[in-house]
Amino acid sequence: MGEGCRAGDEDRLARVAWGRLAEPCDLQAGALTQGLGHGDALRWLREGAGPPPVDAPWGQDVWARARARWRPRLAGLDPEREIAGIARVGGSVVVPGDETWPVALDDLEAAAPHCLWVRGDPALLVAGDARRDASGLTGAVAIVGARASTGYGEHVTGELAASLADSGLAVVSGGAFGIDAVAHRTALAVGGPTVAVMAGGLDRFYPAGNADLLARVAREGAVVAELGPGSSPSRSRFLTRNRLIAALAQVCVVVEAGWRSGTLSTAMHAARLLRPVAAVPGPVTSAASAGCHRLIREGVAVCVSDAAQVRELLPGGGETLAAEPDDAAVRRAGDVPAGVSTLDARVWEALPARGGASIDSLVRVAGAAPGAVRAALGSLELAGHVRREGDRYRRTAR
Amino acid sequence: MGEGCRAGDEDRLARVAWGRLAEPCDLQAGALTQGLGHGDALRWLREGAGPPPVDAPWGQDVWARARARWRPRLAGLDPEREIAGIARVGGSVVVPGDETWPVALDDLEAAAPHCLWVRGDPALLVAGDARRDASGLTGAVAIVGARASTGYGEHVTGELAASLADSGLAVVSGGAFGIDAVAHRTALAVGGPTVAVMAGGLDRFYPAGNADLLARVAREGAVVAELGPGSSPSRSRFLTRNRLIAALAQVCVVVEAGWRSGTLSTAMHAARLLRPVAAVPGPVTSAASAGCHRLIREGVAVCVSDAAQVRELLPGGGETLAAEPDDAAVRRAGDVPAGVSTLDARVWEALPARGGASIDSLVRVAGAAPGAVRAALGSLELAGHVRREGDRYRRTAR
């Protein structure tokens, strides 16, 4: 053990055990298992005395407290039975060394999960990795937001998720009501990949109102959790779950979020992981957009309006900069003709809407020298914007 | 002449003349008049030969072309008659050295206007200056936006303008349809100061549909222009006018703007003048907000949602940081009690919704050491969130 790279049986079982013993983001558990390997860490917990032989900044008291919180959970451990249990519902446990372990989670360092429980296609987990080449996946984008979403937010989420998933990007979200649900549902609707990250165990889909949707994500995409079956979701587990959403995706997009929304924690995790964060603005009169505006205002998130602007944030996305919105047909009669120089425009504007004008008059009105006015009239005439009649010039009808 | 600080009669008349001779932002006119003073610059134009004795990077040909565009306008000059004309309608011409000349315009350097024509209270022009102390004004904010505004944009403009004008800030805008008109109208409605900057002469209020509004601004606020009476607004004059809006205010707020809106030029002028620029986001489904999102996305503007966030951008505004939105009454039954520590929250969550739990059970469920669980229960009990019954603990009803 110790190197933690080969997914040998002992390592897998010990990782499942540590997923039970320690709460997510238990930094002592992270340091211990990364220092000793999960198997030796388990042996130290069962048999050892004093601080473990790992390089860590904590004294004996911290390790004593850590043991005291882990040991009460040793009694109920049965990793083999649990792995068999998830297999019976078509699921699996993924650990480092497996083909489908997302190396993107290494960015979490000591807060990386010990293992992942998966129902569905575990290959989707690597959508955010460099190793996705053979899978047909093009990357992974987290789309997260308010449970109390508005019709506006749901509409925008649908537009984003449809476009991104349709191009092979995995849509990662939290399976909650509101924005999350629309993101998953839309990705499924366009036949695209989607991953739901749960805060509790996979024996039960939470929230119950999304059970049908999550069952479909489990069949056609993947539902994933770091906590074993039977673990109930809690507020702290929702917050630690958010770091997995952030880590599994290459970009995090927040569509709607209240001023204190838990969604903001996903954005902050993504920012700490150096993943680009995007937020969709909305009406300032909508409380559901206040968190998005906060992220933009505080410089955490970049302001995005459509899927193309999200794609720009993907690795290499700067090569395909989003096009400007099409503004054909916005010009009105009386406007300066398109594509003319500044001076030409000034002379064109100096021409009356009806009737003609002499060069002397144009020189005064445009405030340009006679030679410049003559040159401008020449190029405007050549482009068909101006017509000469004797010694006077007039605009052509358009 | 030359020092251009005393508003002597000759300087005033010469400035009015130069306002006629040269288009706004004519850089040669700026260099010439700032180098020689307006009176000597006029004499050079009438009598001089060869390049003028000013420090400028242009050769003889550039000066020859400049003369050629200015001289045709010499014939019709009559500054005295013009000043008498504006006085007949209760207006005035303001020049540097006057008490009411806004020194903020010095930031425009060679593109500063030669003079300003004002109808209404010229004291409002200095709202954006350091010299406003005696006036009761507290500063000046430009609120600009789309002519093709939406109900949303008009609503937000009204909220912003009412709050800012009510606190004594002058609302500066362009007098156009849409956002501009709402900004002026709202400032007037709350009895606050407002300044409309016109692209053409003050003999005629443009657009005609806003004539009544602008007449009221002229009576209760100020309408101002750099071009003399009789000058018609043109596209290029609208764009150069925008620099005056930007310069006269300390902050520039864009409420709605299309992707290519002329309003963006006001924002860019403000940014070049090192004035903070703010933009109000809106639905990404609204073309009228696309320009605002562009400004935010490109880092030109900071995202603002209300007047308090605009005030933060005023000089010294950082001292009164905008409060967080009130989120009272968002907590629901079953939520972790407000104000408890992370560990306390974890233990509270480990308690079943109904019935009690032993410390051993809480240790396992919360994943915390027995001592820590006991300490958390103690503080939760003290705060009235938890009740002890024998050796079991339960949540108190709320």
Determine contact: A284 vs chain B, CB below 8 A.
yes
Minimal Cα–Cα distance from A132 to chain B, Å? 30
Cβ pair A325:B290 closer than 8 A: yes
Residues 6+ apart with CB under 8 A from B294: B259, B264
Tell me, what's the pLDDT at A327? 42
Determine the Cα–Cα distance for residues A238 and B122; give it in Å rounded to an integer: 59
Nearest to A257 by CA among B310, B327, B151, B159: B327
* Residue B197: its H or E element: strand B194-197
Question: Longest C-alpha distance within chain A, in Å?
Answer: 108
Tell me, what's the pLDDT at B319? 59
The three-state secondary structure class of B91 is strand
Q: Torsions phi, psi of A314, nearest 5?
A: -70, 155
Determine contact: B395 vs chain A, CB below 8 A.
no
What DSSP line would sit under B256-321, residue for residue?
Answer: ---TT-THHHHHHHHHHTT--EEE----TT-GGGHHHHHHHHTTSSEE--SHHHHHTTSTTGGGGP
Chain A residues with beta carbon closer than 8 angstroms to that of B152: 283, 285
Determine contact: A302 vs chain B, CB below 8 A.
yes
Cβ pair A309:B327 closer than 8 A: no
Q: Where are the alpha helices (DSSP H) in chain B?
A: 9-21, 27-36, 38-47, 60-70, 79-88, 151-166, 179-189, 211-220, 235-248, 263-272, 290-297, 307-311, 342-350, 359-366, 370-382
Cβ pair A284:B280 closer than 8 A: yes
Domains of chain B, each with CATH number or no CATH: 9-73 (no CATH), 79-320 (3.40.50.450), 342-395 (1.10.10.10)
Tell me, what's the pLDDT at A151? 96
Predicted confidence (pLDDT) per residue in A22-52, tens digit: 999 999 999 999 999 999 999 999 998 889 9
Q: What is the mean pLDDT of chain B?
A: 90
Handedness of CA A360, A365, A370, A375 (dihedral sign): negative
Determine the Cα–Cα distance for residues B243 and B30; give it in Å rounded to an integer: 15
Tell me, what's the pLDDT at A133? 59
- Residue B298 neighbours by CB distance under 10 Å: 10
The three-state secondary structure class of B3 is coil
Determine contact: B259 vs chain A, CB below 8 A.
yes
Determine the Cα–Cα distance for residues A65 and A77; give it in Å rounded to an integer: 20
Q: What is the mean pLDDT of chain A?
A: 90
Contacts 24+ apart (CB under 8 A), A307-314: A307/A159, A307/A160, A307/A163, A307/A164, A309/A278, A309/B297, A310/A141, A310/A160, A310/A164, A310/A251, A310/A253, A310/A278, A311/A164, A311/A167, A313/A251, A313/A276, A313/A278, A314/A139, A314/A141, A314/A169, A314/A250, A314/A251
Tell me, what's the pLDDT at B340? 75
In terms of Cβ atoms closer than 10 Å to its own Cβ (0-12, 13-18, 19+), residue B235 is middle
Tell me, what's the pLDDT at B300? 95
Cβ pair A282:B287 closer than 8 A: no
Chain B residues with beta carbon closer than 8 angstroms to that of A72: 360, 363-364, 370
Predicted confidence (pLDDT) per residue in A182-238, tens digit: 999 999 999 999 999 999 999 999 999 999 999 999 999 999 999 999 999 998 999
Mean pLDDT of B320-327: 52
CA nearest B66 in A: which residue? A369
The C-alpha angle A71, A72, A73, rounded to 5 degrees, equals 85
Best residue of A226, A236, A349, A351 to probe chain B, by most B CBs closer than 10 Å:
A236
Predicted confidence (pLDDT) per residue in B201-227, tens digit: 999 999 999 999 999 999 999 999 999
Cβ pair B72:A330 closer than 8 A: no
Q: What is the ipTM of this complex?
A: 0.78
Minimal Cα–Cα distance from A64 to chain B, Å? 9
Predicted confidence (pLDDT) per residue in B330-344, tens digit: 334 456 777 777 788
Chain A residues with beta carbon closer than 8 angstroms to that of B349: 234-236
CB contact residues (below 8 A), chain B span 335-374, against chain A:
335-336, 342, 345-346, 349-350, 360, 363-364, 366-372
Query: Are B348 and B378 spatial neighbours (Cβ–Cβ below 8 Å)?
Result: no
The C-alpha angle B185, B187, B191, rounded to 5 degrees, equals 115
Handedness of CA B55, B58, B64, B67 (dihedral sign): negative
| Beta pairing, strands A302-303 & A277-279 | parallel
Look at residue A383 and tell me whether its pLDDT is greater than 90: no
Tell me, what's the pLDDT at A332? 44
Instruction: Indicate the range of A133-137, A187-191, B189-193 predicted with least confidence.
Output: A133-137
Tell me, what's the pLDDT at B334? 56
Determine contact: B258 vs chain A, CB below 8 A.
yes
Chain B residues with beta carbon closer than 8 angstroms to that of A285: 152, 155-156
Chain B residues with beta carbon closer than 8 angstroms to that of A335: 235
pLDDT grade for B131, boundaries at 50, 70 and 90: low
Adjacent-strand bridge partners of A170: A140
Residue with tokens 């900004």: B183
Q: Torsions phi, psi of B259, nearest 5?
A: -55, -35
CA nearest B75 in A: which residue? A364
Tell me, what's the pLDDT at B171? 98
Nearest to B142 by CA among B166, B174, B120: B174
Look at residue B190 and tell me whether its pLDDT is greater than 60: yes
Instruction: Say how many Å lie between the first and final Cα of chain B, rounded.
Output: 80
Handedness of CA B270, B272, B275, B280 (dihedral sign): positive
| Beta pairing, strands A386-389 & A392-395 | antiparallel
* Share of residues in chain B with pLDDT > 70 (%): 91
Adjacent-strand bridge partners of B140: B170
* Share of residues in chain A with pLDDT > 70 (%): 91
Residues 6+ apart with CB under 8 A from B143: B157, B160, B161, B164, B171, B172, B173, B179, B180, B183, B253, B255
Instruction: Indicate the range of A37-46, B118-127, B132-141, B258-267 predicted with least confidence.
Output: B132-141
Instruction: Indicate the range of A91-100, A260-269, B259-268, B374-383 predicted with least confidence.
Output: B374-383
In terms of Cβ atoms closer than 10 Å to its own Cβ (0-12, 13-18, 19+), residue B310 is buried
pLDDT grade for A355, boundaries at 50, 70 and 90: confident
Residues 6+ apart with CB under 8 A from B296: A281, A296, A303, B279, B281, B302, B303
In terms of Cβ atoms closer than 10 Å to its own Cβ (0-12, 13-18, 19+), residue A282 is buried
Determine contact: B84 vs chain A, CB below 8 A.
no
Minimal Cα–Cα distance from A242 to chain B, Å? 16
CA nearest B22 in A: which residue? A367
Mean pLDDT of A128-137: 69
Cβ pair A236:B360 closer than 8 A: no
Query: Are A317 and A311 spatial neighbours (Cβ–Cβ below 8 Å)?
Result: yes
What DSSP line would sit under B221-265, residue for residue?
Answer: SEEEESSPTTPPP-HHHHHHHHHHHHHH-SEEEE----TT-THHH
Mean pLDDT of A359-377: 87
CA nearest A234 in B: which residue? B349
Please give the order of strands across the beta sheet that includes A386-389.
A357-358, A392-395, A386-389
Minimal Cα–Cα distance from A65 to chain B, Å? 6
pLDDT grade for A372, boundaries at 50, 70 and 90: confident
CB contact residues (below 8 A), chain A span 134-163, against chain B:
152, 155-156
Minimal Cα–Cα distance from B270 to chain A, Å? 19
Look at residue B136 and tell me whether its pLDDT is greater than 90: no
Cβ pair A305:B293 closer than 8 A: yes
Tokens of B211: 């004539």
CB contact residues (below 8 A), chain A span 218-257, against chain B:
234-236
Minimal Cα–Cα distance from A331 to chain B, Å? 11
